[in-house]
Amino acid sequence: MMPKQPMNVLTTKPSPLSTMVVMLILCILGFYALHFPHSSTPSENLSHLEKLFLSTSSNSTISSYLRALTMHPHLAGTKPASDTTRYVLNHFTSLGLSAHTTTYTTLLSFPVRSSLSAHFNDGSSVSLRLTEEASGAGVVAAYHAYSPSGAVHAPAVFANYGRQRDYRALAAMGVNVSGCVVVVRKGGEMGRGAVVERAEVNGAAAVLVYGEGDTWRKGFERGHVMRGGIGDPLTPGWAGVEGAETLGLEDREVLKRFPKIPSMPLSAEVADTILSSLGGVHVPLHWRGTLRSKVRHVGPGPTLLNFTYEGEKKVATIQNVFAVIKGSEEPDRYVLLGNHRDAWTYGAVDPSSGTAALLDIARRFSALLGLGWKPRRTIILCSWDAEEFGMIGSTEWVEQNLINLGSKAVAYLNVDCAVQGPDFFVGSTPQLDNLILEVTNKVKDPDSDGVSLYENWAAGGGGNNIQRLSGVDSDFAPFVQHAGVPSIDMYYGRDFPVYHTAFDSYNWMAEYGDPFFHRHVAVTGVWGLLALHLANDPILPFNYVSYANELQLYKNTLSNLIDQKISLHPLTLSIEEFASAAKEADDEIKKLRLQETEGCFVDMKKRALNDRLMLAEKGFLDADGLQGKQWFKHLVSFCHLVSYFFNY
């Protein structure tokens, strides 16, 4: 998500950058702790606590949670979703945890009816399936949430991944997509919303998106196509609580969040029926290398598609569920663990593998509490609703609690799909990199005997491949982009073939994704140990030297992308000053960790240092937001997005 002229932030608006750097250095060097409670000697040794936590793992228990969660589809805003809410709430309360829900009124989108038929050059026609056969009771028909209703009778044309350079390639071959139904394959690092927007800009009348692959060729990938941000479109920037002001459906700010042309997901099988019948020029050579479908020509036509879609936007109630473990010494400092609960269908992978892990975290923390453990800081377990409609549940809660999060949130740890397949992936804000490496060294690798998760991960370059949280594809987005909270996101498996389809079931997980649920145990282990460190360590395990190194990498990338006449000297100087401040903070951490004496003065120094470490991330926020995208405030994530979009 970036402004149309991203370089303006560095060229015509230097003052926000300077302000950001000054704020950040003040956060690192300043002394502005709010209060300094006395702390006694920790009653639990953390390494012993880690052993206790890891020893209570149970793959069979996680499996049972997943089976219960996937007994029926639970799309946000529906009755089955309410049942799943009660299941999670009852689980928390049965463990003796303090639990509650928060309710929001938000705009969701559901299908009413749809149809698609292909009319071929020889005069024949066929009605094409638009959802999985025998998908089960309660499974919503395949659709794109927030797609407008519409009816189109027009030639089909193949546009590869639907990127702007794909449309340029078609234009260079003399292919005009204006007024056509564009068929696009998933991929190319573009989300479905961006694909629909590109098609609309290029004059298409409708868009059909399919996923390639030999596995589960009959699956339809549901998803939303809302654009311009995340959260409830009727309450942009504030929470949709009872009595809150809401915008109208015809408000200009609301309308620009939705596409103007209808769209629909297709299965690979249905897409092949259309694409194999196209005429016109041949598919460009540079598209063929990764092309698995039966397309040989791009069209337009001669096949005509008759496509209709009718949907409805409905104001619905959603609920987030929370369990709170109050801190014994710093109850006003929050470590948050979150996963979304809603699913397009059964959601065994997305998101119930993560929900099952969250439920197991709750069980294991409850067991530790029973043994006398109390975290130093407060731990909050968060179960979000309506993530699939654009991170709505988490965004509304962040907007509602922005002031508290700004001064009290230590970190947010996100797990969406805990397990999709093999290989471990993690993304974070850079000050948490070292903690990730430390914790993954303590968890057994689920796929190799006798080694840690880190050893197997690092062997594939994992230690150097911690991703950055610049996207808006899961519930970490409002915490990072809007509130400036240090965050981590992790999962097993790059992707999976039943994504958002009716085949995302418990049986698929048990047969293909994680048959013995060992990967679930590994993710739960990492998730829990991260939380224990952040909630219990006397000094927060943050390292801003890593952050300084990351900023230098961003600056180097940026310098290769922009006109050399543009001076990056102010940015270079700011990063150097930040690196110096980070080094000083790191030295102070080392000295305080060696401090053997305890007492009020030492406690005050630790509290002050922790507040500076915790609040430093806020220094990267621009209070006015990014140009044209005011809700997005994080300047470093923005810089990462600049380099990302320049590589399109």
Rounded distance, CA 343 to CA 272, Å?
27
Give the pair of three-digit tokens for residue 320. Answer: 């987030």
Q: Report the alpha-carbon distance of residue 332 to residue 326 in Å, rounded.
A: 9
> CA-CA distance, 199 to 209, in Å (whole number)?
11
Contacts of 594 by beta carbon, 8 Å cutoff, 6+ apart:
none
Two structure tokens written together for 556: 């180097």
Q: How far apart are CA 416 and CA 383, in angstroms?
A: 10
Would you name the residues annotated as active-site residues? 387
Distance (Å) of CA 599 to CA 39, 352, 407, 604: 8, 45, 25, 9
Distance CA(278)–CA(130), nearest Å, equals 20
Nearest to 106 by CA among 416, 389, 477, 476: 389
Using alpha carbons only, what angle is made at residue 275 by residues 271 and 276, rounded to the nearest 5 degrees?
A: 115
Structure tokens at 510: 């048990």
Q: Note the maximum CA span of the chain.
A: 89
Picking from 36, 39, 32, the residue whose alpha carbon sits closest to that of residue 616 is 32
CA distance 154 to 313: 26
Taken as a whole, the chain contains a residue count of 648
Between the alpha carbon of residue 140 and those of residues 84, 110, 410, the distances in Å are 16, 8, 38
Phi, psi of 489 (to 5 degrees): -135, 135
Structure tokens at 221: 């990938």
Within 10 Å of residue 372's Cβ, how many Cβ atoms?
Answer: 8
Angle, to 10 degrees, between the axis of helix 518-536 and the axis of helix 353-370? 50
The count of other CB atoms within 10 Å of the CB of residue 591 is 11
CB 319 within 8 A of CB 103: yes
